[in-house]
Copies of this chain bind each other. A is one copy, B any other.
């Protein structure tokens, strides 16, 4: 094994930029057994990818992801492309003996996700690691939330209340970017942001979603074709319109296997909510609330305190004994969105270096995909729908 973890990243847009920050930063923020090296970035267009390499700090660039996978000096493939290409790239990388970091959602279909999970499990036997990029797990307040639940601090969880609210397509003239086309994105709000709250709530509660009842809605049925886009912003081409083929919003009720009941909501039509991911857990001994727009805070209600002093405590998650925070600044100094990716890469590198399997695995991500699938089916059929198990029970 190389004494560095040499990374080849495919895709360099929003997620690629975030991963690049993480790869550039992780060696400086943490003492790692295996420093990361930003070997090559890959994209389709030479001018664009060469500019991206320069801007984002990659040593070289390529326009052929197969070539990147084939390189001897690449140890890990980091997949930041739209969901329709994840399976092909990941399967090729695993076959070539490369570790794989794959952005979420793992794939656009259950079939692809299952194939990837099977391949990852097989690769694992050969010491090849894979991980899916549910970066919110690595927000310190979320990691703290999981620790507190696991330590029993809120007792038996009765309620999960999860919403991921955005508003970037409220304007009906916002163009038909790739995230609004089913053939590329797989689904709309559901897979893009709903996947995050599915993973996050299962992670923090330690419970899995067993069954769902869902509805999905597309409020604006057609939009101008896009002229140009970047991140979540874009400008439209007034002369031509296309059909929106994904959901604008997805809402579902769920029962979890530990007895909790839940509401989930993912939408791009919640005016004023920019990245409004919010999760509340109510347990028999207390409650926890996380809101991404105040990502450095966690609210904790401790029902075991004297009655007259009970209340929601706003924990500022910036203390050195909070998860990941000893790498950063003194208490009260905030970190930002991109730090979640830096933490993700730290955990990935630690796992690879120590021969452990990073989480969430492709199998974990397949399970999220199965929940997404149950939600889609329920929305179509108007029936309560069981979530299929990851592996068939024998």
Residues of A within 8 A of B (CB): 14, 18, 20-21, 24-25, 28, 55-57, 144, 148, 154, 158-159, 161, 163, 165-168, 170, 213-215, 217, 219, 231-233, 249, 251-253, 255, 259, 261-263, 265, 267, 269-276, 282-287, 292-296, 300-303, 307-316, 318-322, 328-339, 382-384
* Residue of B57, B159, B251 touching A249 (CB-CB under 8 A): B159
Q: Report A311 CB to chain B, min CB distance, Å.
A: 4
Residues of B contacting A259 with CB < 8 Å? 219
Q: Give the interface SS of chain A, mostly helix, strand, loop or mixed.
A: mixed
A253 touches B308 (CB 8 A): no
Bound complex: CA A261 to CA B318 (Å): 28
Residues of B contacting A334 with CB < 8 Å? 293, 295-296, 334, 336-337
Bound complex: CA A165 to CA B287 (Å): 12
Q: A293-B334, A332-B276, A383-B383 are in contact. Are A311 and B300 (CB under 8 A)?
A: yes
Q: Report A97 CB to chain B, min CB distance, Å.
A: 30
Residues of B contacting A309 with CB < 8 Å? 148, 300, 302, 313, 315
8 tightest CB-CB pairs across the interface, nearest first?
A274-B332, A275-B332, A272-B301, A336-B336, A333-B337, A274-B331, A311-B315, A232-B330
B261 touches A263 (CB 8 A): no
* Residue of B24, B215, B275 touching A331 (CB-CB under 8 A): B275
Q: Find the B residue at minimum CB distance from A277.
A: B332
Q: A158-B219, A263-B265 are in contact. Are A303 and B335 (CB under 8 A)?
A: no
* Residue of B213, B271, B328 touching A382 (CB-CB under 8 A): B213
Residues of B contacting A14 with CB < 8 Å? 329-330
Bound complex: CA A215 to CA B252 (Å): 11
B282 touches A270 (CB 8 A): yes
Residues of B contacting A231 with CB < 8 Å? 329-330
B272 touches A312 (CB 8 A): yes
